[in-house]
Amino acid sequence: MRKLFIFIFLIIQAVHSDAQTWEIGGFAGSSGYMGDINPIKAYKFTDFAFGGQVKRNIDGYWSFKLAAMHGNIRSDDANSPYEQQQQRNLNFYSPVTELTFQTEFNFFNYLPGLFPIAGSRKFSPYIFTGIGGMMFNPKTMLNDIEYELPKYVTENANLSDAYRTYSLTVPYGAGIKYNVKGNWNVIGELGYRTAFTDYLDDVSGNYPDFSPLDQSDSFTLERAALSDRSNPKIGLPNTQRGDYRKRDTYMFAGFSLTYTFVSRKCPTF
């Protein structure tokens, strides 16, 4: 990881252009999730999301961006078209906050704040990828009580095996940029994130075996109830609870409004 950041830093230092500009802006849109409770619907956006960005445009094709995003994700087995998921009857909701460093590539020569330099375009589709960190905290409601699921370790009898509520994340996606007027830009973007965790939804592997624990303990009873919410009960110890994919995915889609600061070195017309 350290080598990756050093490599990115060297690229930024090595690339020089008289058309370098800074760009800042905000984002508003929607957030969604794919994982053990929503295994197939990559288009399922459920909640409002917002964020901000600071960008360094190296030239008309390459940019480096630092972005912060926040949204909520959720899903419910009760809404699944599959009978097995409906019977499992799990659900969750969670805030998601990320900070990422991204590289963007424009397909056209796009110079915000400098149009109409010869050869530049007022719009361009683009792709991006990068690396970052994210935080999450899956919760659920049971009998009108909200539970923070990481505290209950629903897939392991040993409380010391609780998963972390933060993770590395890899963003990737595509969008289109349009220079509205002068230094102002409107950007539409669809981006997915591969999280290096399978617990965004608190579901990953097998049902645990709580039998060695004190069954009269109220906390143990809560853990068992949160782990297996099916009726009739299907959560036999060590049987499949999740889908065995190693990572969950979350996504953002929406629009950004940005302003470009043109340095004195940049040519103007």
| Token digits of residue 260 | 């470009």
Average pLDDT over residues 23-47: 96
Please give the Cα distance from 204 to 155 (Å, whole number).
8
- Using alpha carbons only, give the angle 39, 205, 193 rounded to the nearest 5 degrees: 45
pLDDT, position 19: 56
| Model confidence band, residue 268 (pLDDT cutoffs 50, 70, 90) | very low
pLDDT, position 244: 82
| Model confidence band, residue 14 (pLDDT cutoffs 50, 70, 90) | very low
pLDDT, position 215: 87
Task: Give the residue among 59, 174, 37, 186 at the shortest CA–CA distance from 111.
Answer: 59
Which amino acid, one-letter code, is at 98?
Answer: E
| Token digits of residue 259 | 């302003």
| Token digits of residue 66 | 């630092």
- For the segment(s) 21-136+164-199+246-262, the CATH number from 3.40.630.10, 3.40.50.1220, 3.40.50.10540, 2.40.160.20 is 2.40.160.20
Across the chain, mean pLDDT equals 90
| Model confidence band, residue 1 (pLDDT cutoffs 50, 70, 90) | low
Q: Dihedrals φ, ψ of 31, to 5°?
A: -125, 155
Please give the Cα distance from 189 to 130 (Å, whole number).
15
Q: Which residues contact 233 (CB under 8 A, 6 or more apart)?
A: none
Residue environment code for 155-176, b if the CB has 16+ CB neighbours within 10 A, otherwise e: bbbeeeebbebebebbbebbbb
- The model's pTM: 0.87
| pLDDT over 70 at 18, yes or no | no
Q: Are 29 and 49 in contact (CB under 8 A)?
A: yes
Domain segments of the chain as ranges: 21-136+164-199+246-262
Q: Are 246 and 175 in contact (CB under 8 A)?
A: no
Query: 163-204: per-residue pLDDT in tens?
Result: 999 999 999 999 999 999 889 999 999 999 999 999 999 999
| Token digits of residue 182 | 């002068």
Query: 209-225: per-residue pLDDT in tens?
Result: 999 999 899 999 999 99
Please give the distance of CA 257 from its chain centroid, rounded to a whole number.
20
Please give the Cα distance from 128 to 249 (Å, whole number).
16
Q: Are 201 and 37 in contact (CB under 8 A)?
A: yes
| pLDDT over 60 at 142, yes or no | yes
| pLDDT over 60 at 41, yes or no | yes
Q: Is the dihedral of CA 84, 202, 233, 207 positive or negative?
A: positive
pLDDT, position 125: 98
User: What percent of the chain stands above pLDDT 90?
Assistant: 81
